[in-house]
Amino acid sequence: MAVNRERILDEALQLVDDEGLDGLSLRNLARRLDVQAPTLYWHVKNKTELLDGLADAIMDDAISRVPEPGAEDVREWFLGALVGLRAALLRHRDGARIVSGATRSLRRGDFSELAMATLVQHGFELQQARLLVLTSERYTVGWVLEEQAPAPEGPPPTEADVRSRWPVATQAISDYFVGNGRTRDDLFADGARLILCS
């Protein structure tokens, strides 16, 4: 099968999913594609351009998940867009690291533009829309960075130690999750709503 930019990006995402972002190199990618590394340079100039392409692919997925604005409050529409962004980032191992490190991802800018334009069309002032989009995107990417972070080494602290050291936080977590079916998805959405309603 011929090597083209689309195949390179597809294989690079698969490599990241298999080995993590730290396992991504042009040499490893060339080996998986069964080509010599210089062949890749016809399609991607360097690893930075490759990472930007991967970020664009992830953001293509995020943009495809943005719902059409309807009769609901535009904040709920934007929450739906953020939920879609989170899902796209989670779809790939280290997806948040890829997007947060992309220096020239045009599709990330397209997501921001779509969100800002929609907010402005629904009555937000331009600077308010810009700050809301910037803060919400960074919240979402940061949230997923934490979700995708490797588990810490060593044994976790005991429940008794946690309860005695952080009794208020422990009670708040218990009140939020226990007995009402709430999940991490609900926690993400409730945190985003705090930003969107400010």
181 within domain boundaries: no
CATH number, domain of 141, equals 1.10.357.10
Q: What pLDDT, on a 0 to 100 scale, did the predictor assign at position 1?
A: 62
CA distance 66 to 81: 5
Confidence of residue 36 (pLDDT cuts 50, 70, 90): confident
Examine residue 11 and state whether it is found in any structural domain, yes or no.
yes
At 196, list the tokens. Answer: 């969107």
Structurally, how many domains does the chain consist of? 1
Q: What is the pLDDT of residues 40-96, one digit of tens each?
A: 888 888 899 999 999 999 999 999 999 998 878 999 999 999 999 999 999 999 999
Q: How far apart are CA 50 and CA 45, in angstroms?
A: 8
Instruction: Please give the residue range of the domain that contains residue 129.
Output: 5-150+189-197
183 assigned to some structural domain: no
Residue 135's contacts (CB-CB under 8 Å, 6 or more residues apart) are 195
Residue 51 lies in a domain: yes
For residue 27, is it within any domain? yes
Over the stretch 3-25, which tens digit does the pLDDT of each residue have?
899 999 999 999 999 999 999 99
CA distance 198 to 195: 5
58: left (phi over 0), alpha (psi -120 to 50) or beta: alpha
